[in-house]
């Protein structure tokens, strides 16, 4: 959950998000080093009248400033490609959930169960309970078991939407007539918030996503109660 004046990412709640945070720090350090070097060169050129005749015409330095950027790009590209493949990896999911975007709410269908599905609407500000977050809380949360691979099938019924939960490192476009899939593993119990990340009309800001990760035993109890109420 993000908080006011926060500069960094939200705390990671999935292995993929932890990898993304590490890659972000890795790339940011490279950017800092390049920026520092460029700033030093600019200050040195502006503040001194001395010139070096070997720098003005030097094959060696031209080789260095051609090869060095290529090496830096490789150091960024290799971990980036690794994470891209990790994000596309979906191996033997324990649970499959279909998330359907509507104007302006989400509906969830647990496809491994015969009759387990519900609509998830934003809770109006006047109906919020103490401790709930404005514009982020829903009347029905998507409950998942922690430490289990979860596959999400994402689509839309009307216009483009996007199912995104930053703490889990998940963002997938919901396209009418197309079924996209993504996966995540919640590494700890908790409540994780997201929002539609594709402009989808007048109430785009009012279709939040709430994922609640619970131990497997609690998830089984919850699913039994939901099936009894259905």
Q: For residues 27, 32, 35 and 40, what is the CA-based torsion angle, rounded to 10 degrees?
A: -150
Q: What is the end-to-end Cα distance of the chain in Å, rounded?
A: 31
| CB-count burial class (<10 Å; 0-12, 13-18, 19+) for 96 | middle
pLDDT at 30 over 90: yes
pLDDT at 59 over 90: no
Q: Judging by DSSP bridges, how do beta strands 208-214 and 105-110 pair with one another?
A: unpaired
Look up the CATH number of domain 93-227.
Answer: 2.60.40.420
Rounded to two decimals, the pTM is 0.85
What's the confidence (pLDDT) of residue 91?
A: 83
Q: CA 132, CA 140: separation in Å to the nearest integer? A: 13
Q: What is the mean pLDDT of the chain?
A: 91
Angle 77-78-83 (CA atoms, 0-180°, nearest 5)?
Answer: 95
Q: CA 58, CA 102: separation in Å to the nearest integer? A: 63
More confident residue, 29 or 54: 29
What's the confidence (pLDDT) of residue 48?
A: 83
pLDDT digits (tens, 9 = 90+) for 106-133: 999 999 998 899 999 999 999 999 989 9
Secondary structure class of 115 (helix, strand, coil): coil
pLDDT digits (tens, 9 = 90+) for 182-200: 999 999 999 999 999 999 9
Look up the CATH number of domain 13-86.
Answer: 1.10.287.90
Q: Pick from 72, 89, 66, 62: which is nearest to 31 by CA?
A: 72
What's the confidence (pLDDT) of residue 230?
A: 64
pLDDT at 56 over 90: no
Give the residue extent of every domain in the chain.
13-86, 93-227
More confident residue, 53 or 88: 88
């Amino acid at each position: 959950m993000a908080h006011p004046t926060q500069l960094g990412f939200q705390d990671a709640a999935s292995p993929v998000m932890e990898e993304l945070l590490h890659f972000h720090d890795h790339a940011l350090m490279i950017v800092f080093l390049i920026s520092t070097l460029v700033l030093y060169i600019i200050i040195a050129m502006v503040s001194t009248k001395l010139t070096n005749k070997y720098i003005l015409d030097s094959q060696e330095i031209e080789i260095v400033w051609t090869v060095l950027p290529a090496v830096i790009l490789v150091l960024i590209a290799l971990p980036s490609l690794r994470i891209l493949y990790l994000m596309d990896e979906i191996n033997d999911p324990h649970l499959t959930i279909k998330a359907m975007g509507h104007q302006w709410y989400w509906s969830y269908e647990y496809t491994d169960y015969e009759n387990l599905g519900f609509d998830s609407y934003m809770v109006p500000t006047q109906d919020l309970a103490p401790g709930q977050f404005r514009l982020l809380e829903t009347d029905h949360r998507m409950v998942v078991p922690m430490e289990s691979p979860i596959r999400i099938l994402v689509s839309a019924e009307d216009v483009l939407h996007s199912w995104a939960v930053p703490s889990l490192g998940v963002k997938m476009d919901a396209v009418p007539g197309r079924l996209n899939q993504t996966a995540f593993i919640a590494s700890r119990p908790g409540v994780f918030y997201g929002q539609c990340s594709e402009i989808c009309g007048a109430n785009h800001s009012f279709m939040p996503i709430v994922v609640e990760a619970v131990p497997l035993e609690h998830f089984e109890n919850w699913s039994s109660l939901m099936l009894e109420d259905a």
